[in-house]
Structure 1
Amino acid sequence: MTDIITNQRISVAPMIDLTTNHYRTFARLFNPDIYLYTEMISTGAILKGDTTHHLRFFDNEPPLVLQLGGSSPAELAQCAKLGQDYGYTEINLNVGCPSDRVQFNKIGACLMAEAPLVAHCVRAMQDVCDLPITVKHRIGIDHFDSYEFMSDFVGVVAEVGCEHFIVHARIALLNGLSPKENREIPPLRYDDVYRLKQEFPHLFIEINGGIKTLDDIKTHLTQVDGVMIGREFYHNPMLLGQCNELWGRQAPTHQEIFEKLLILLENFEKSGTPLTLVMRHYLGLFQGLAGSRKWRQALSGQKSLSLSQIEQAGRAVLAQNA
């Protein structure tokens, strides 16, 4: 057994259309301690739509963070209070999404140019909510790409009492790049995030962007307080299991996770949830194993799926790797 690492804050990044409650309850099967995040949910969707639909979650999901998108202090405060009432662990403000759609609504990375407004939003949420209020942001936007710009942003927001910042170690180019391209094209600048921690040692600094392996995680944890990973956790969920090593535990086996998944799917089926609706979240279970491609092909894009079909496909992979 390896030595237990002191910094153990590991998070699954919020991802629109991916980190749904059906994915999160699956992710929790791999590790009891990793922090899970909702998709970014706009204040308008919560306050003007089906609040319960947007905020409900399964019992096994916490520690669970509600990520909000918005720029109205009053609306964000209302939603933060609702998040507390629903039982979330923390509330996070999105100041990192580069999508054109959210920019139009003054949500996401464009807010980095308005640090006083972000501080006002954080203060409004703190005034009505006892949960930690955190901020997820980029290292910069467009031509505001210097370390000093990010440092000034964090300094202003920290003045109102925000103590936890999650930093995607790329700038966001708000015009000309798609959200996918903004996750891949701007170069990673991990050293800027390390420097931020050195400048603000009293703040909790969590790093995000391009992190793919347990060794990567361990390296970053020597410099900052936490690590957030998005699509690598989603497409290769066994990495969540490998992170148990940070707490001095062994990773679960594919067999153990598959047996738990069958119970999960049985419960979904009993509740009336079509298995075709949720199965896309579980296609990465056998990533890296022989037969994983056949597992994905058998279960993706189907008009209907039965529990027996899923069990047969999974047991074939496990038998091939026995």
Structure 2
Amino acid sequence: MNPFFKFILKLMSSPKIDIQEDYQSIRKFQQIFYAKPKRSYRILNEQIYSEDRSHKIDVRVFMPKKKKHEEPVLYIHGGGWVIGDIDSYTRACMNLADALGRVVYSVDYRLAPEYPYPAGLEDCFRVAEILLEQLEFTGPEDTSKWIIMGDSAGGNLAAVVSILLREKGLTQPYKQILLYPVTYWDHSEESPFDSIRRNGHDYGLTIEKIQSYMKLYVPDEAERKNYKVAPLMAEDLSNQPETLVITAEYDPLCDEGEAYASALFKNGNKVRLHRVENAVHGFITYPKFATPLDESYRIMNDFLTRN
């Protein structure tokens, strides 16, 4: 790893950053750093009602410069269920739409701690339902041809949405892509996954930060073992979409992401696992020419275009 980059990551790992105390300041910084997108014919802003019509859910639609494939992507952003939104992920989703040649729908789900579990999950599930309804009216005849994707906490939500769609007897995505997903509930030193201890101190995303995010998202510790929070705890992972799991070498979540890929495979699903070497957590938001992202785009395209 580049020594200067490692030094920057070390600074970002400072214990002075307290997620539970500083999450609002981080959100404000993101609002300043990620300016709202300029008017563009390639971006559409939509809203849908929650199932009980108590609130609206913002959805941003990204059209690729050159559309190559009909199957759309529902993208669920990361941020530990606490930070991140469709503005901070706009550049990432624009790049993703162009790289995959597909329309990308980005969902602005409710965030903790103002809206703890299961609020964000309910929003993501609702948008998945609406996307399916839209495909039935305006899309290809085969409405199963859609893709769900997410990174980090968004990868967690994407995985759980796929499980819930199966449980409710609804049409599932035909493929899912999970980028360095959260799949387990314990991120302490006692975690069964060595990458938590190996990578959990000096690479930006620390053990302390992960645990703080989890506490804000699911205050009830016992509830964190629920498969709707930790999908690796699910007793039945059969009949899931064909899955690509992408992990990062220096990510504390590396091992649990790979364990989820293994669990899916053992339950009879088609699974592809790819670890990006010399990479850290969160690279989906990097500039599109960054090596980890360029590599991931190639892997995603190969996975999505193969039958």
Fold match by TM threshold 0.5: no
The TM-score normalised by the length of structure 2 is 0.34
Question: Which entry has the higher C-alpha Rg, 1 or 2?
Answer: 1
Higher helix share: 1
